[in-house]
Amino acid sequence: MSICPVCRFRSNNWGDVASHIHDMTSRSDPPHVMWLNRNLSSREVSSQELAGTLEDYFSLKGGLSSWIRGKVIEKIYGERPHPFILAMQKPNRAVLLGYVIEHRHFLRNWIRVLSMIVYKTDKDDVARYELENISQEFLGNGSPPHYELLIRMGESLGLTRDEIMSYDPLPSTSSSIKVWRNIAETRSWVETMASMHSMELIADKSLRNYGSKMHYFNPSILTDQDYPDAVKKFLAEGYNADEYHAWKALELVEKYSQELGVVEDVQVSFLRSLDALSKYLMARLERAMEFDPNLIKFVEAVT
């Protein structure tokens, strides 16, 4: 099955999907035009050429999880790495506070969406995986949960717990959360699982072996005296845990998407999630600018 990544128009071949996208873009439909510009090319191409490009873009040469990893690297760590990742190579107080304030909302939503996977799946290995993940994030297993470590990072940077809790999410964070909730509510649990856990790949330190130019943050921070212990603790948790989390999840996604015959749907939902992630990472920087207006110069220089 070939599926339009924007509106899910379906056909048995890429030729039909290419003609459909060509038709939509010649009518200047904004979502189709934007998708093409952002993901394939901003120059005008014939419907025939587009069919080949789409087929190549969606082809799974090394399996679904490798395809997902490749797209994450391309979008977040590619030619122009995401500005938030660049800022994390030597984050100042403002960048870390932007991270804390927006990420609190992300994590609250994270566990709610994972609960939807548990609700919808009939596979025990999937339910167990997600329940472990939810408890790790929210309850902790004998050690403080990620959610608590995040708040402590904010406190170590000079905000009170009440202040951190008082912020509503920025519009970009809210709109990304809406995308993930919409996937959870309207699509299959396998698509939801791919959409959520592929995001953990951005912190996977092994991405360097697959072409990523840098880590999620500069690992020297973990031993740098200039950063409070609570910052190092929060970053170290993700640095050590997410790699295992993401890969285990993507193995389950690969297995069940084939079994249930929804591989192409998974690809399309994952791409939607990746766009939402990119937007959400910008929201962290947008919030950071409230604490350090000079960051705008950095953002302008790298975008």
Q: Helix or strand or coil: residue 293?
A: coil
Does residue 3 interact with Zn ion by CB under 5 A?
A: no
Q: Does 118 bind Zn ion (CB under 5 A)?
A: no
**Rounded CA separation 271/265 (Å):** 10
Q: Which stretch binds Zn ion (CB under 5 A): 8-16, 50-58, 129-137, 245-253?
A: 8-16
Nearer to Zn ion, 9 or 57 (CB): 9
Q: How far is the CB of 70 from Zn ion (least distance, A)?
A: 23
Residue partners of 222: CB distance under 8 A and separation at least 6: 232, 235, 236, 239
Span from 7-15, 62-70, 72-80, 272-280 in contact with Zn ion (CB under 5 A): 7-15
| Amino acid symbol at 197 | H
Burial of residue 141 (number of CB atoms within 10 Å: 0-12, 13-18, 19+): exposed
Residue among 26, 153, 48, 138 nearest 102 (CA): 153
Check: CB of residue 41 under 8 Å from CB of residue 53.
yes
Q: Using the rule CB under 5 A, is 36 a contact of Zn ion?
A: no
Distance, CA of 172 to CA of 299 (rounded, Å): 16
Q: Which of residues 261-300 bind Zn ion (CB under 5 A)?
A: none
Q: Tell me: does residue 7 bind Zn ion (CB under 5 A).
A: yes
| Burial group, residue 189, by CB count within 10 angstroms (0-12, 13-18, 19+) | buried
What's the closest the beta carbon of residue 32 comes to Zn ion, in angstroms? 6
Q: Which of 1, 2, 3, 9 binds Zn ion (CB under 5 A)?
A: 9
Closest approach, Cβ 273 to Zn ion, in A, equals: 18
Q: What is the distance between the alpha carbons of residues 239 and 167, in angstroms, rounded to a whole number?
A: 26
Q: Which residue in 3, 4, 250, 274 binds Zn ion (CB under 5 A)? A: 4
- Closer of 6 and 134 to Zn ion (Cβ): 6
Confirm or reject binding of residue 6 to Zn ion (CB under 5 A).
yes
Of 1-9, 51-59, 83-91, 101-109, the segment contacting Zn ion by CB under 5 A is: 1-9
Position 50 contacts Zn ion (CB under 5 A): no
With respect to Zn ion, which residue has the nearer C-beta, 20 or 75? 20
Q: Cα(122)–Cα(124) distance, rounded to whole angstroms?
A: 6
Q: How far is 69 from 201, CA to CA, in rounded Å?
A: 7
Nearest approach in angstroms of CB 191 to Zn ion is: 17
Interface ranges with Zn ion (CB under 5 A) = 4, 6-7, 9
